[in-house]
Structure 1
Amino acid sequence: MSPANRPGGRSRRTVSGGGNAYRRGSGLGSGSVGGGPRGSSGGSFGGGGDRGVGGGGLLAVLLALLIGGAGNNGNNKRGCLGRILVLALIVVGAVLLLNMCSGNTSGGFLESLLGDYATTTSDSGLNTVDGTDSGSTGSGNSLSDALGSLLGNYGSTTGQIAPASGSDEVYKPHEPDRTVGSAAREKYTDVAAAESVTVMVYMCGTDLESKSGMATSDLEEMVNATLGDNINVILETGGASNWQNQIVKSNTNQRYRIKQGGLETLNAKVGKRSMVDPDTLADFIQFSAKEYPADRYMLILWDHGGGSLTAFGYDELFPGDSMSLDEINQALKDGGVQFDIIGFDACLMATLETALVTEQYSDYLLASEAVEPGTGWYYTNWLSALSDNPALDSLDLGKQIIDDYVKMSGNSQTTLSMTDLAELNGTVPSAFKAFSSSTSELIAGDGYNSVANARSGSRDFSTSSKINQIDLIHFAENLATPEATALAQTLRDAVKYNRNSTSISHANGLSIYFPYQSMRSVSTAIETYNAIGLDKSYTECIKSFASVTSGGQVASGSSENPLGTLLGDNTGSLLGSLLGGSATSSDVASGSTDTIAQLLDLFLSNRSVVTGDKDSSWVDEDLVRGSIADYQANNAGFANMMITYKGDVPTLVLTEEQWSSVVTLEQNVYVDDGSGYIDLGLDNVADYDEDNDLIMAYDGTWMSLNGQIVAYYLISEDQVDDSYTILGRVPAMLNGTRVNIILEFTNENPYGAVLGAQYDYEATETDTVMKGLVEIVAGDKIDFLCDYYNYDGSFNDAYYLGEQMTATGSWEIGNAPLGDGVNWDMAYRITDIYGGQYWTPTVKNY
């Protein structure tokens, strides 16, 4: 157990094997598999292994960007399977989190279900979802057995999640909150009087269907429901380059009515239209309501999701776009229907921003804060229940959907919530405004650290630094100002039913965009908020926080390119390069007035280089100036860190003030193979001595799978009371396809378990997020991957690491020795409350 005020880490055990941390073959030409030297999961070397040699931060803004303007990094190319698009402007302190949502069906279910598909028409004119006998209503296989291996939904944390006791009700079925606040508006739908219902399913199949048949699986669930004449389930399909059945076509949008046992074609040639065009959605809503009028309406949007800023959808046939919240607002407005429930069977859409938009058109929002597992919603039971009783209470219907979702998702991290939008309308806006204004005052005063600590300790659902989406209730409760506490309670009252799997905590039902690790989307947030009419006090709040954070990163000399410490000069340092080669981050720390003035002028004339945002007009110059001055006055940074030897044991001695600003601590190891450096990744392991100082001695072992050394990158840490969950990833090729193998460490499995593989998301044109994981089965061929750097610190290429492995179906996870005669460098990367990153001095064995 780690001492107080110190980052902890996973449990380790030493296993046999190892000695195989070497490059194989030629470079893959695919770009970085770890995120590059400036990404969260990319590596960079720490510097200086000699006693007394300083390490620490150099600014990570490249001189070439400042002199020559923004340009592309030619080393970061998109691979054939869709690497994450590496942006030219990397933000100081940016952390590229794992893009966590990809999926495929495993085993023989879809192959046996769809491999011999013939479109058959029954006497009733229905296209039956059946591969063998037109009289059957399905494949007869258990969906849970067939798709149970599809895992997913990994939230991320920018720091260790603050432990909380609280009720465990959220982890098991319970009664919905049926209270209604006095300020709630009247419901649009009189559910109790409903005798008919129309459910509109807007299914943008995308690569979820073309690669994995996930839409087809959900269609099977729908046709297996018991449906009467009092329910109309109307479907529009599109957005996929290929459908894994012989009914739905990819060259045109189509409309169907779901009937028990099959699909009734309504319009086989709607036309090839973008499913992320709001006009397409509006037309579908209008059609469904006109042709199938009912007492009660539901709308389900099925596809990828991207949260507050990217919102909904990715259309394979019209790439490079998504349906933003203001466009969703326009589609719902033009659709002209007031819904009982609007649901998103998509990732990351349970946001306050989504709720405020959909409130104008619906009584309830049903969505997930996090990445959904590949199975998504389970449709059979709730459609049958709704058909049996069209007046089924909305909360009971939502509970059925949510409970089935959690149950059918198996071991996945899952969360799904139902928010009363009528109550939210009457109670949240005023509380949210008060919270935003008081938080802005904290930031502008001397309370930035309180806000930053609350933010870093809050449940983060970001799958990359593009998103910055956190649980709003958890954030407000961590901040604990009177206004924040009041907002948290108001939001809890509006969220009527929320379920989490036991492996996820602090998912309370509604999230929000709050920039921290990356500032590159602040202008997009401002534009979105203006378009949807979000209260301007929150816009001012995030602008203030982002401004102070940017100033702190600059002033502290944060480094994501520690070449100077490794190479013994100021290579890669903004200060060293622009201020004559002699200035370092210690000049800032020592209070050099001239340096501070030059640094401020440099930042203000090159805002986008530091923030990563193409439009950085939002930067508040006074807050930046104050942030730099505050750093100068208080200097709790990490300039000139030194290794201190206690006997023969190297240690890193920091003050308690410095430790209090540490958010994460990750071990970074490189192997020197005689031509350059193999990056083995970033692992949250740490040991402390009796003085609570960090032990820098390294035993020469690293993460291995079945004896093979692998590159490993921390994704997240999560703790509730004494229980914890740590997730990490291993970049690899699985049967020739680029994946990340996901590892999980818990109290029950302290040495880890392999959960499955996550495909690299091909839809890099948008920030929407894919669902699910795929199981690794015996016989699968695995080639592990690593990043490789030249001796000057520049990225060379990605390579195979060690020999190809054939999966056996069982795994041994542990630290294996790098081997005798292997030269290695080890350092720790520190991330502070500003999001700044620093490498300690290195230790090495050569």
Structure 2
Amino acid sequence: MVIITAKRKGELMRKTSEKILRTLLAVSVLATAVLSSGCLDDEEEISDSTASDNRQTSDGGNAESSEGSDNKYDGSVTGSRASKLTFSGSDGISIARKQREAEKPMGEDGTQTVFVYMCGSDLESENGLASGDIEEMIAGSQSENVKFVIQTGGAGAWADTYGISAEKTQRYVVTGGEISLIEEKESVNMGKEDVLVDFLSWGIENYAAAKMGLIFWNHGGGSISGVCFDELNENDSLSLEEIDTALTSIYDKMTDKFAFIGFDACLMATVETANMLVPHADYMFASEETEPGYGWDYTEIAGFMESNPTADTAELGKTVADSFMASCEAIGAGGEATLSITDLSRIDELVKAVNDAAEEMNDISSDPALLANAVRSIYTVRAYGSNNDTEGYTNMVDLGSMIAATVSGDKADKVMSALEKAVVYNIYGEDKDGSTGLSTYYPFGVSGSTELATFGKVCVSPYYMTFVDRIAYGAQNGSTDGYSGEKTWLADGAVYWSDGDYSDYESNWEHYNNKTDNMGFCGDKSSVQIDVGPVLDDEGTFYFNVTDDTINNLASVNCSVYRVDEETGELIEFGVDQSTKVDFSSGLVEDNFSGQWYMIENNLIPMFIVEKNGNSSVYTSPIKLNGKETNLRIAMTQDGNAYDITALGTWDGVNENGESARSVVPLKEGDVIVPIFNTYDSEGNFAGKAEGDECTYSGDNMIEFVNLPAGDYRYSFVINDIYGNVCYTGFTVFTTDDDGNVFFTPEE
């Protein structure tokens, strides 16, 4: 894979500026949308020449099968899904997939159709972004040879631009610079697979072409919650299994694969998504990270298709990626965006390499010390979306980074080699350095059994499934002693991705829930046990020791700071920070709290650590922005005793359906900010929320890291175990004076 970087200017930047103007005009009757993401640059051809930083290419190949693979393509694969993996204890995995005897184009040479499954949701109803993208399609498709066939729905309101109705499900064709309403019906749930089947069946019957693509347009949530959340139907979405079933339903109606299936949505560049798409398309276009609200540049995409009707699909993908990044840069985001182009013919080789590497992960997981090291390493690698209690959990981690952090030698090298072959173009912002193009699921935080059961139906590796299941077992039981999931996941002849009965698997997780609104104090049932403390040593350092037999359950330790509300007696939580020192070899944990906290215009604000990389950290702060609850993302870099703190913008996080908001929205001058604090009673039970004093954003950097006002506060160590569970030590009083000194007074 090749790395390339430079600054994109000139014509493409002019076009992206026009894109923004068109979108803003389209949404003049709605709220102004200013969404952001990090961006990159340049216009290099896909090649094997090396240049520089964050634009990666490989020679791909779109080969029909993987080198050295025992997998097979089998047109006789039956059932509602198009692929099947079978595990053998002696032979490893074998893969069978539907495949036609010969692929035959379905239209005349030079014709191109892109089907767009446009679930508008709040992206349209609040910001008019779907209508803006339709306008781009009209601007770009100037001949009859390029068609965008669109189904609209899933939004409570649509911009007036094209007369799209929120009460109807409508089908449009954009071609020759015009848009035409072809048919409409009563509103249907865009999160249902039969609705997708009906649209595609109608589409390929009436608008088949020599080259066809399919785009899912909406929010995405990754491998678990899928894509296309219909706000008219309780944000129901299409899971990967449902998409596979829908595409398999129309398989026999097609004589050719889709040239590409793309996701103009967040978090969908996952190995599970790519694996599901192998029988259905040649390439996948998608993002590992969240996308900005503006999404893809359809004027550039359509223009490339018009000018290059015979171009390789990977070249089209490069245009999608480069124009997307240029759009991001034009709105001044900086660093957060990703987009990758994946050759799906290479996925079988990758799946086999991942399973071989995951075998090593599973082997070491039976050793408590090695399992602890592996999980601690996973917590340090590149993750996407959010994985914290405040914003919610997307539970998506970079595949290549995770394997490199947990597996050594030849097996890890083979995964990276297979990734480089599969991901033929990969572009990412400076803040997403190390992104390898495909992510995978890891259970940082899980509520209930549904999430894990869903992953069991799409996981690409029996060994990795066993590793994940072992973590879930540990979360339930405080250790992995007695785990026997291998009998299920690694049973000889175990079948994956099929119509099999998963009820036994689901019952294993029926009571699994490691997230709650209440604090859980450390006690006899905690997986991490305290031997000594928390107490003060002779030098005044606040510390505790973990017992020798539970050190391997310890993942990390944070600290949490509170103030007692004088009127209610409740504890007002200021947040969670990483001001601690942990020695994993001895189990010694020491406080490193400076007595400083974060303020906006002399008002304390809640701050929760999101990620830390060296001297740089990202935090999230629950706030109301102009009356609406959201989260303020804040970056801090420390240089000695100096701190550089920047408000990145607001992000709504992940809702209860697993729907991830699109990227961070920059603050605007005049925005009204009200901090929101969690409150607890003395037993650690969640009591509610309390609002701080409001302030108005002036456009300047308003956030400071300063000494707490002199007074009495409460402190707790926050202990995170390797299974995703959290426990709090009892509240300890500390006092700050006018000089910023901190004095702990733990109970005897």
* Bin for the TM-score computed over the shorter chain: 0.7 to 0.9
Q: Cα–Cα, structure 1 residues 423 and 527, in superposed 2: closer, same or farther, change >3 Å?
A: same
CA distance, structure 2, for counterparts of residue 551 and residue 341 of structure 1: 44
Paired residues of 1:644 and 1:653 also in contact (CA < 8 A): no
Partner AA of 2:59 in structure 1: D
1:271 to 2:271 alignment: no
Say if 1:686 and 1:752 are closer, same or farther in 2 by CA, change over 3 A.
Answer: farther
Tell me by how many angstroms 1:351 deviates. 1.3
1:150 is aligned to: 35
Query: Which residue number in structure 2 is paired with residue 752 of structure 1?
Result: 645
Between 675-684 and 700-709, report the one with greater CA deviation.
Answer: 700-709
Is 1:646 matched up with 2:538?
Answer: yes
1:455-492 deviation digits (Å, cap 9, x = unpaired):
32332225346542222211111122443442332223
- 1:469 maps onto 2:385 in alignment: no
Q: 1:649, 1:524 → 2: CA distance? A: 42
Of residues 493, 518, 521 in structure 1, which corresponds to 2:421? 493
Q: How does 1:26-175 map to 2 (within 5 A)?
A: 112-115=25-28, 149-152=34-37, 171-173=53-55, 175=57
1:430 maps to 352
CA shift, 1:196, in A, is: 1.4
Match of 1:812 in 2: 702
- How far did 1:189 drift? 7.6
**Residue in 2 that maps onto 1:706:** 601
The residue type paired with residue 514 of structure 1 is Y
Aligned to 1:669: 561
Give the deviation of 1:256 after TM superposition.
Answer: 1.2
Q: Structure 1 residues 746, 391: CA separation in 2 closer, same or farther (over 3 Å shift)?
A: farther
Match of 1:785 in 2: 676
User: Is 1:413 the counterpart of 2:302 in the alignment?
Assistant: no
Deviation per residue, 1:522-542 (Å, 9 max, x gap): x64445544x58554443332
Deviation at 1:795, TM superposition (A): 2.3
* 1:655-697 deviation per Cα after TM superposition (whole angstroms, max 9, x unaligned): 99988875434231101232221110112334799x9986637
- What's the CA shift for 1:190? 7.4
Residue from 144, 152, 170 that aligns with 1:254: 170
Deviations for 1:144-195, whole angstroms, at most 9, x for unmatched residues?
A: xx96x412589xxxxxxxxxxxx99784445543446684489958799951
Against the structure 1 CA distance between its residues 229 and 193, is the aligned structure 2 distance closer, same or farther, given a 3 Å change threshold? Answer: closer
Q: SS of the counterpart of 1:399?
A: helix
The offset of 1:254, in angstroms, is: 0.9
- Aligned residue for 2:520? none
So what's the TM-score if we normalise by structure 2?
A: 0.74
In structure 2, what residue type is equivalent to 1:473?
A: G
Counterparts in 2 of 1:555-574, with a 5 A limit? none
Q: How does 1:674-689 map to 2 (within 5 A)?
A: 674=566, 675-686=569-580
State which of 352, 365, 375 in structure 2 corresponds to 1:452: 375
Aligned counterparts of 2:430 and 2:456: Cα–Cα separation in 1: 34
Question: Which range is displaced more, 705-714 or 355-364?
Answer: 705-714
CA 1:260–1:771 in 2, change beyond 3 Å: closer, same or farther?
Answer: farther
Which aligned pairs between 1:454-603 and structure 2 lie closer than 5 A? Answer: 454-461=377-384, 463-464=386-387, 466-481=393-408, 482-518=410-446, 520-521=448-449, 524-527=451-454, 529-530=456-457, 534=460, 536-552=462-478
CA separation in 2, counterparts of 1:287 and 1:677? Answer: 59
1:733 matched to which residue of 2? Answer: 624
- Distance in 1 separating the partners of 2:576 and 2:21: 36
Q: Which amino acid aligns with 1:759?
A: D
Which amino acid in the other structure matches residue 478 of structure 2?
G
Given the alignment of the two structures, is residue 375 of structure 1 paired with residue 283 of structure 2, yes or no? no
Matched residues in 2 for 1:153 and 1:736: separation?
A: 27
Deviation at 1:646, TM superposition (A): 3.4
Q: CA deviation at 1:296?
A: 0.4
Q: Residues of 1 paired with 2:508 and 2:188: CA distance?
A: 41
- CA shift digits 1:321-351 (9 cap, x unpaired): 2111121012112233420100011111111
Given that 1:197 and 1:390 are in contact with CA atoms closer than 8 Å, whether structure 2 keeps it comes out as yes
Partner of 1:281: 196
* Alpha-carbon shift at residue 495 of structure 1 (Å): 1.1
Distance 1:758 1:828 in 2: 27
Classify 1:203/1:113 alpha carbon distance in 2 versus 1 (closer, same or farther; 3 Å): closer
What residue in structure 2 maps to residue 797 of structure 1? 688
Question: What is the match of residue 82 of structure 1?
Answer: none
Give the drift of 1:510: 1.3
Give the conservation status (yes or no) of the 8 Å contact 1:365–1:420. yes
Contact 2:395 2:443 in 1 (8 A): yes
Structure 2 residue matching 1:312: 3-state secondary structure: strand
After TM superposition, the score normalised by the length of structure 1 is 0.66
Distance change (3 Å), C-alpha of 1:470 and 1:693: same
Structure 2 SS opposite 1:544: helix
Structure 1 residues 786 and 453, CA gap change in structure 2 (3 angstroms): closer
CA-to-aligned-CA distance 1:564-601 (integer Å, 9 cap, x gap):
xxxxxxxxxxxxxxxxxxxxxxxxxxxxxxxxxxxxxx
User: 1:612: how far off?
Assistant: 5.3
Q: Is the 8 A contact 1:742 1:757 kept in 2?
A: yes
- Please tell me the residue identity of whatever aligns with 2:433: S
Match of 1:344 in 2: 263
Contact 1:369 1:416 in 2 (8 A): yes
- Structure 2 segments unaligned to the other structure (5+ residues): 1-19, 40-48, 67-72, 74-98, 482-506, 516-524, 736-744
Q: How many angstroms apart in 2 are the aligned matches of 1:799 and 1:402?
A: 43
Q: Decide which of 304, 308, 319 is 1:385's aligned counterpart.
A: 304
Letter in 1 for 2:660: V
State how far apart, in whole Å, the 1-side matches of 2:557 and 2:426 are.
32
Partner of 2:500: none
CA distance in 2, matches of 1:316, 1:538: 34
Once the two structures are TM-superposed, the CA of residue 817 in structure 1 deviates from its matched residue by 3.5
Asked if residue 228 in structure 1 is aligned to residue 143 in structure 2, the reply is yes
Supply the distance in 2 between the matched residues of 1:534 and 1:698 (Cα, whole angstroms).
43
State the alpha-carbon separation in 2 of the partners of residues 540 and 473 from structure 1.
19
* SS in structure 1 at match of 2:195: helix
| Letter matched to residue 36 of structure 2 | L
Q: Is the 8 A contact 2:372 2:722 kept in 1?
A: yes
Secondary structure, aligned partner of 1:280? helix
Greater relative contact order, per chain length (Cα 8 Å cut-off, separation 6+): 1
**1:243–1:316 Cα change, 3 Å:** same
Tell me the amino acid that sits aligned with residue 206 of structure 2. Answer: E
Cα deviation code 1:402-432 (max 9, x no counterpart): 122222223251111111111213x134323
- The separation in 1 between residues aligned to 2:386 and 2:225, in whole angstroms, is 13
Give, in whole Å, the separation in 1 of the partners of 2:467 and 2:514: 19
Match of 1:38 in 2: none
Residues 312, 322 of structure 1: 8 Å contact kept: yes
Tell me the secondary structure at the aligned position of residue 740 of structure 1: strand
**Residues 812-839 of structure 1 deviation map (CA, whole Å, 9 limit, x = unaligned):** 322234323x321123323233434344
Deviation at 1:554, TM superposition (A): 9.3
- 2:514–2:725 Cα contact (<8 Å) kept: no
Tell me by how many angstroms 1:228 deviates. 1.6
8 Å contact 1:504–1:718 — kept in the other structure? no
Shift of 1:791: 3.2
Q: Distance in 2 between matches of 1:232 and 1:607?
A: 46
Shift of residue 275, structure 1, vs aligned partner: 0.9
Q: In structure 2, which of residues 38, 54, 59 is the aligned counterpart of residue 177 of structure 1?
A: 59
Contact 1:151–1:755 (CA<8 Å) still a contact in 2?
Answer: no
